[in-house]
Amino acid sequence: MNHANTTTTIDLEVYRYRPELETEPTFDTFTVPLRSDWVILDALNYIKDEIDGTLSYRWSCQMGVCGSCGMMANGEPILTCASFLKNYAPGPIRVEPLANFPVARDLIISMDDFMEKLNRIKPWIIVEEEKPLEEGEYLQTPEQLDEYKQFSMCINCMLCYSACPIYGMEPSFIGPAALALAQRYNLDSRDHGNQQRLDILSTDDGIWQCTFVGECSEVCPENVDPAGAIQQYKVASTNDWWKSKLMPWGNKK
């Protein structure tokens, strides 16, 4: 390990908001060692352990799987466990809570809105009737798996919501991750919930708020393509709409 690296430092300007102390958020500047193997999350852990134990933030796995350490670094939504300090050298790095969400404390956002929306799109496999156990598993070919696999990689980190300018202006918009997850189940050969989800997603708060800015797909750490999912969904919803207008007898169940 390069010793010169451990002696250099970098400044972090960290967003602070302690509702019992202050009505407006402030920024605290902390100086941390600039180690070449450190990510922003390491720097935050260093601050909490060595400088200010009151700093609050979410994290868990430290390996880009759990999706809990998403924050804004210099205005970009990122996973702090996957963003090396050296890429921001010489700094400073401005660390803020994810944009477009209400802040509960310091770097912690309230994710109630996202959880409610996620639930609304029915992110589970819907079957008309459960098969009896003796009929065995619901089999799927590798090709059928490939249809939806990309959209199943979402880790609910909500970076896409922070990047989405539409969600910033229209909080009622269901938003990228939830729409991509809806498509993950729609494209699953075992699922029969397409029509139920279409009824929810074809509203004004669903896919039709999206203007295909595409930032959601840019920032996604798992290379999910929510923007692509929404466009696919627009085509499906448009076909369904024209069918229901031109052949109103066709869709009755």
The site for another protein (CB under 8 A) is made up of 126-128, 130, 165-166, 169-170, 195-196, 199-200, 202-204, 206, 208, 211, 234-235, 237-238, 240-242, 244, 253
Q: How far is the CB of 10 from another protein (least distance, A)?
A: 36
Rounded Cα distance, 226 and 180, in Å: 5
Q: How far is the CB of 41 from another protein (least distance, A)?
A: 33
Q: Which two tokens stand for residue 70?
A: 């998403």
Q: Where are the alpha helices (DSSP H) in 54-208?
A: 112-120, 142-149, 159-163, 165-169, 176-186, 194-201
In the complex with another protein, the residue whose CB is nearer, 88 or 233, is 233
Residue with tokens 């609910």: 156
Contacts of 84 (CB under 8 A, 6+ apart): 36, 37, 38, 39, 40
Closest Cα partner for 50 from 35, 31, 36, 63?
A: 31
Q: Are strands 9-16 and 93-96 parallel, antiparallel or unpaired?
A: parallel
Q: How far is the CB of 216 from another protein (least distance, A)?
A: 15
In the complex with another protein, the residue whose CB is nearer, 87 or 251, is 251
Q: What share of the chain is helix, strand, coil (3-state, %, to 5)?
A: 40, 15, 45
Q: How far is the CB of 203 from another protein (least distance, A)?
A: 6
Which 8-state DSSP code applies to residue 24?
A: S
In the complex with another protein, the residue whose CB is nearer, 47 or 163, is 163
In the complex with another protein, the residue whose CB is nearer, 39 or 166, is 166
Q: How far is the CB of 184 from another protein (least distance, A)?
A: 19
In the complex with another protein, the residue whose CB is nearer, 26 or 196, is 196
